[in-house]
Chain A
């Protein structure tokens, strides 16, 4: 949980796509993964990617237009639920060949992707992959399902924000829990009290606070409460 909070904090500081790329590299180390990739296609067809793959593999992938046959791309772009790569269809001959090449380029044998549907037809895909056996991977993704969901959306949010946010929904509203948390903070309640009131752990509480802070573009918790109050997002 703390790692997730740290990651969010780091990402919230990013102001350029290069910094998002740096963040992806750090994320790989923090989560001890083989590779990560975030790829976005916005409503006007503009594309952006931040990834850890070897540059030769990226060049080859683009040159061969492997997105046409990559089951992760083809299988995910119409979906919106997180998916293990084993649930995708890898049976066609072209796909098997692609898979062999990917493995040679250092792509792990396990993968997990979070498809994201944003506003105005924006679409993004956040994938992680690793080399390990099925049981280890099932445990890894099972324990982090919620973290991965949050990270992928924070990444998407940040990338859209840097790109100019023209496709953004007018208000980035707070989740009910984030609202509850800020409301209680605004009343002066302690973190321990708030956690107890909301029946959540303090580490979960920190995630809500960080989430709210990021959404509001605030520099710290007090700032987040002030922004939420001044925009009428919370009422005390």
Chain B
């Protein structure tokens, strides 16, 4: 199932938390050889994890980390503006655009493609639910194939490098019409996605009214 969790809520989910940081180390440090920091525990963490970002996490049936992505509002600090501003002449600073980073699928997952689809669906549901217009992010050439397969491609703002080494900045449009297609690719219903969202952001049982 999908969980939407702010960093300060992860304490209640230690297995998801450590699993996510370990899987990020495996994906970004070990496999993709990105210049990221892995600590003595084998966790990959950066300064943006300290800003209380919102994580979208696929929790496996066994309760482990299956995949995740991270969101921060573009009105605060973002990787795009801090580190990747050379990719585009456009400064992304917009109340209705959130930056997405650290898109990660567990190397232990038997069905990585489906988890990627589930995460994209959950990300789309997040944006549509909150009335956002776009997600912004940086991606490398290998991801374009995945986005195309899922039928949700970003508008490219700028690219540096060529072939497999190319990295780009892009914007994904949040559109309710995307939800059904992404849900079909992920093998779940749009009701399931709406349920994940409502569980995280909907009303508590206890009534506010005095």
B93, A117: Cβ atoms closer than 8 Å: no
The contact string, 1 if C-beta is below 8 Å from chain B, for chain A 125-169, is 000000000100000000001100110110000000000000001
Q: Is A2 an interface residue (CB 8 A)?
A: no
Bound-complex Cα distance A173 to B96 (A): 13
- Chain B residue at smallest Cβ distance from A152: B95
Q: Min CB distance, A77 to chain B, in Å?
A: 10
A84, B203: Cβ atoms closer than 8 Å: yes
Q: Is A80 an interface residue (CB 8 A)?
A: yes
Q: Is A230 an interface residue (CB 8 A)?
A: no
Bound-complex Cα distance A179 to B81 (A): 18
Given contacts A117-B76, A134-B209, A150-B96, 12 further A-B contacts (CB under 8 A): A78-B52, A82-B131, A86-B204, A90-B206, A96-B210, A117-B75, A146-B131, A171-B93, A172-B93, A173-B93, A176-B90, A176-B134
B92, A173: Cβ atoms closer than 8 Å: yes
Q: Min CB distance, B122 to chain A, in Å?
A: 14
Can you list 24 A-B pairs, Cβ within 8 angstroms, ordered by A?
A: A80-B73, A80-B98, A81-B130, A82-B130, A87-B203, A87-B204, A88-B208, A89-B204, A89-B206, A99-B208, A103-B210, A110-B208, A111-B208, A117-B73, A117-B76, A118-B75, A119-B76, A145-B130, A145-B131, A169-B81, A169-B91, A173-B92, A175-B96, A179-B90
Choose among B6, B94, B95 the residue that contacts A78 (Cβ–Cβ < 8 A).
Answer: B6
Q: Is B179 an interface residue (CB 8 A)?
A: no
Q: Is B30 an interface residue (CB 8 A)?
A: no
Interface residues of B, CB < 8 Å — how many? 34
Q: Is B57 an interface residue (CB 8 A)?
A: no
Which positions in A face B, CB cutoff 8 Å? 78-91, 96, 99-100, 103, 109-111, 116-119, 134, 145-146, 149-150, 152-153, 169, 171-173, 175-177, 179
Contacts of B98 in A (CB 8 A): 80
Bound-complex Cα distance A16 to B81 (A): 31
B93, A91: Cβ atoms closer than 8 Å: no
B202, A87: Cβ atoms closer than 8 Å: yes
Contacts of A179 in B (CB 8 A): 90
Contacts of B8 in A (CB 8 A): 78
- Chain B residue at smallest Cβ distance from A102: B210
Shortest beta-carbon contacts, A-B, top 8? A153-B95, A173-B91, A117-B76, A145-B131, A86-B203, A146-B131, A109-B209, A175-B94
Q: Min CB distance, A92 to chain B, in Å?
A: 11
Q: Is B84 an interface residue (CB 8 A)?
A: no
